[in-house]
Amino acid sequence: MRRSRPALGILGGMGPLATADFYRRLVTRTPADCDQGHLPVLMWADPAVPDRSAALLGRGPSPVPALVEGARWLKRAGARCVVVPCNTAHAYVEQVSKAAGVEVLDMIRAALRAAADTAPGVHRVGVLATPGTRAAALYERAGARLGIDVLQVSARLQSSCVDPAIRAVKGGADPAVAQQRIATAAAALKEHGAQVVIAACTEIPLISGAAARIVPVVDSTDALVDAALSRLWQPPPAREVRTGRRIA
């Protein structure tokens, strides 16, 4: 297949709805005025990738072989770089990038930078994430490098609010209940000094409307979209305007 522009690879399926949401946001946030102005995209979306949180907590198999298989396919198909619209999977992206020999954009760093840019002086950022992301301290480690203090909800709120809300999105349950649970968790982070909260699981932005009325919420999916556009998008060449006038 011949392409005139570099393609973006999407290593998805974690979960399927989050992957579809990423691509929708990529299209809507691209400053294009016609079909041809959008990025060429290659997608590998395998929902059979083993659960990332379970693996990080020692309760399941590693997702690395499946992730490497997908990343290698994307590279062979012509992807210039790869995005993984799953925060928890970023515990493994360095391994995946090295094994597949392809650049993988950093969703965690992109989300933290977006949070810091919401207002001058932001230095305490709350994170709503999966147990696996928490266990791997992905945001804490990246925040330390950027000079940002990262706050997590209590273990009680994680198990009673955040985890059930994520499961509800994956399972297609009532979004109203899930929204309220995420709002409760976001309010607790604000009470403990969070100036901004990151929706640090790609299911959470889908149910963060009520939370955003309590505290500014940064969408990790949008942050990754913006990183991809910054890396690859280029304005298309100016189109020739034909007037139909004949030259004698």
Q: What is the CATH number of the domain that holds 130?
A: 3.40.50.1860
Tens digits of residue pLDDT in 115-160:
999 999 999 999 999 999 999 999 999 999 999 999 999 999 999 9
Q: How far apart are CA 227 and CA 248, in angstroms?
A: 51
Q: How far apart are CA 226 and CA 30, in angstroms?
A: 9
* One domain, residues 211 and 112: yes
234 DSSP assignment: -
Q: Which residues are part of the catalytic machinery?
A: 86, 201
Mean pLDDT within 221-241: 83
* One domain, residues 71 and 136: no
Task: Determine the pLDDT at residue 4.
Answer: 63
* One domain, residues 76 and 128: no
Task: Determine the pLDDT at residue 225.
Answer: 97
* One domain, residues 80 and 115: no
Q: Tell me how many domains the chain contains.
A: 2
* One domain, residues 95 and 115: no
| Residue 244: CB atoms within 10 Å | 4
Beta-bridge mates of residue 11 = 44
* One domain, residues 100 and 160: no
Q: Residue length, the chain?
A: 248
Give the side-chain half-sphere CA count within 13 A for 98.
5
25: nearest Cα among 49, 4, 41: 41
Q: How far apart are CA 131 and CA 18, in angstroms?
A: 17
Residue 185 lies inside a defined structural domain of this protein: yes
* Alpha-helix residue ranges (DSSP H) falling in the chain: 16-29, 52-56, 64-77, 93-100, 107-116, 131-135, 138-146, 155-157, 163-171, 175-191, 220-232
* One domain, residues 123 and 97: no
* One domain, residues 171 and 213: yes
* One domain, residues 114 and 82: no
Place of tokens 């020999």: 101
Place of tokens 């909800």: 153
* One domain, residues 98 and 178: no
Tens digits of residue pLDDT in 67-107:
999 999 999 999 999 999 999 999 999 999 999 999 999 99
* One domain, residues 125 and 212: yes
